[in-house]
């Protein structure tokens, strides 16, 4: 399997700040409206797919983080996959098992089920790394996040 780098995906999807919203739906709508979507995808299709997945099972993973993602791949080209990290301007109740409201949302869009599972498992692991959680807590810059993820990915090699 060609391992896709989380660094590449984050560089493609970017980091958003001060995303407003009082519900997961509000937050996801604002994230989708503020990202650059690949040409093969529309904002409406992406939002609908993410909300459908969220309705099946919430994507909060605890520790103030949610990783929303479509259930099925929405892009076919590996070069259109992305991860967007969004810092919320206020915590949002997201039905997390640990009851902590979400402050950080990491949107994942993949091109295949295989790459989706690979990226999702790495993201989940990353979100439980203390150093990465500290960066999320301080709403670090994109450059700081990229450097930290690059370092963690090197350890995985």
* 126-148 confidence digits (pLDDT tens): 999 999 999 999 999 999 999 99
pLDDT value, residue 89: 97
Among 68, 84, 64, CA closest to 17: 84
pLDDT value, residue 3: 66
Write out residues in the chain with pLDDT < 70, as ranges.
1-3
Distances (CA, A) of 127 to 41, 61, 77, 148: 27, 9, 26, 12
Tens of pLDDT along 4-22?
899 999 999 999 999 999 9
Identify the three-state secondary structure at position 41.
coil
Q: Which tokens hold the place of 64?
A: 């103030």
d(CA 138, CA 146) in angstroms, rounded, equals 15
Q: What domains appear along the chain, each with residue ranges and CATH number?
A: 6-156 (3.40.930.10)
pLDDT value, residue 1: 40
pTM: 0.95
pLDDT value, residue 41: 95
Number of other residues whose CB lies within 10 A of the CB of residue 10 = 21
pLDDT value, residue 4: 83
Q: Which tokens hold the place of 76?
A: 């076919």
pLDDT value, residue 2: 52
């Amino acid at each position: 399997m060609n391992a896709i780098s989380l660094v590449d995906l984050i560089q493609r999807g970017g980091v958003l700040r001060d995303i407003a919203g009082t519900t997961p739906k509000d937050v996801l709508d604002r994230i989708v409206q503020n990202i650059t979507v690949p040409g093969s995808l529309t904002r409406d299709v992406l939002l609908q797919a993410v909300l459908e997945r969220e309705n099946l099972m919430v994507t909060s993973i605890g520790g103030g983080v949610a990783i929303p993602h479509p259930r099925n791949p929405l892009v076919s080209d590996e070069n259109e996959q992305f991860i967007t990290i969004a810092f919320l301007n206020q915590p949002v109740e997201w039905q997390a098992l640990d009851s902590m409201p979400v402050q950080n949302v990491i949107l994942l869009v993949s091109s295949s089920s295989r790459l989706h599972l690979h990226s999702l498992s790495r993201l989940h692991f990353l979100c439980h790394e203390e150093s990465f959680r500290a960066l999320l807590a301080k709403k670090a810059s994109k450059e700081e996040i990229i450097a930290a993820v690059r370092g963690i990915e090197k350890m995985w090699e």
